[in-house]
Amino acid sequence: MTKSTLSPLSAQAAQADHHETPSAYRDLALKSRREIHSLKRLVSRFIATCTGKNTLVDQKLTEFRDVLYSAQDVSALLPRLAVIERMVGHQDMTQKKALSHLDEQFHTSGETLQRVTGLPAQLKRDLRDLLAQPMSSDTERTQHLIKLLQLYERAVTLQVARPRAQHAQVELDKDQIRRVADELQNLITELDIDGQAGDKLLEIRRQLLTDVSPTSVVSLTLTSLRLILEATQAERHASQQFLSQVNDDLVSISQQNTRAYDHASQLRMAHQSVDQRLERTITDIEHEISLQSAPAADPEAALIRALDELKVIAQENEALKNREQALEEQLAHNQNQLSTLAEQTMDQRRHVGDQERKRLLDPLTRVYNRAALNDRLEHEYRLWKKYHREFCLAVIDIDHFKQVNQQFGYEVGDKALKVIARSIYQCLRDTDFIARFGGEEFVILLPDANDDTRTDILANISQTIRKLPLKFKNERVSITASIGATLFKDQDTPKPVLARADQALYQAKNSGRNQIIWC
* Residues carrying an active site annotation: 440
Cα–Cα dist 12/506, whole Å: 99
Which residues does residue 484 pair with via DSSP β-bridges, in sequence order? 395, 517
Query: How many other CB atoms sit within 10 Å of the CB of residue 331?
Result: 19
Q: CA 437 to CA 395: how far, in whole Å?
A: 8
CA distances from 257 to 22, 68, 70, 236, 342 (A): 19, 10, 11, 31, 17
Is the dihedral angle over the CA atoms 92, 97, 100, 105 positive or is it negative?
A: negative
Single out the residue of 424, 434, 428 nearest to residue 380, CA to CA.
Answer: 434
Q: Which residues contact 189 (CB under 8 A, 6 or more apart)?
A: 205, 362, 363, 364, 436
The residues near 445 (Cβ < 8 Å, ≥ 6 apart) are: 376, 377, 380, 391, 392, 393, 432, 433, 434
Q: How far apart are CA 458 and CA 448, in angstroms?
A: 15
**Beta bridge partner(s), residue 396:** 442, 483
DSSP for 55-107, written as a single string = HHHHHHHHHHHHHHTT---BGGGHHHHHHHHHHHHHHHHHHHHHHHHHHHHHH
Distance, in Å, from the CA atom of 418 to the CA atom of 270, rounded to the nearest integer, reads 75
The string of DSSP letters for 429-474 reads: -TT-EEEEEETTEEEEEEET--HHHHHHHHHHHHHHHHT---EETT
The rounded distance, in Å, linking the Cα atoms of 479 and 468 is 8
Which of 142, 190, 194 has the alpha carbon at shortest distance from 351? 194
Pseudo-torsion of CA 129, 134, 138, 144, nearest 10°? 10
